[in-house]
Amino acid sequence: MCKVGDIIVVKEYTSQGRTLKRHSFVVLSTEQGKIRGLDYDLICNVMSSFHSEEQRRFKLGFPGNFEYPASSENIKNGHGKDGYIKAEQLYYFDSSKTDFYILGNVTPELFNALIEFIDGLDEIEAIVDNL
């Protein structure tokens, strides 16, 4: 089982009605709960890496995107690219219905800064398509 701060790769997931393949997420919580009457035991944010300086500027223009350096990821044989976390989108998963594996983790400093960033957001979207 994964733990808070882990980076997991979800092999297939649904977001806003679209099925997407193989993406990394940072785990925010592993506590069990219910949202909209559905059980969950993982809350995550999607992670992406920057592919160019132009994309970096564009993506950081969104107030809910949280930038992080590659050095704050602990991934064996990682790609070494800086990235961003879509902090305004909380993905709720039922781990028993989700095909994923643990890729690594983020540093405690990054995790704490991310939580502070999320706490300061005005709007957060709950994505429950994967329950």
111 pLDDT tier (thresholds 50, 70, 90): very high
> Which CATH number is associated with domain 6-130?
2.30.30
Q: Using the predicted structure, report yes or no on whether residue 14 has a pLDDT greater than 80.
A: yes
Tokens encoding 31: 């506590």
Phi then psi for 9, rounded to 5 degrees?
-110, 120
| C-alpha span between 118 and 109 (Å, rounded) | 14
Q: Using the predicted structure, report yes or no on whether residue 79 has a pLDDT greater than 80.
A: no
In this predicted structure, what is the pLDDT of residue 74? 85
- Evaluate if pTM is beyond 0.85: yes
Domain boundaries, the chain: 6-130
Burial of 48 (0-12, 13-18, 19+ CB in 10 A): middle
Tell me, what DSSP letter sits at residue 109? H
Give ∠ CA 109-112-114 in degrees, rounded to 5: 105
In this predicted structure, what is the pLDDT of residue 95? 95
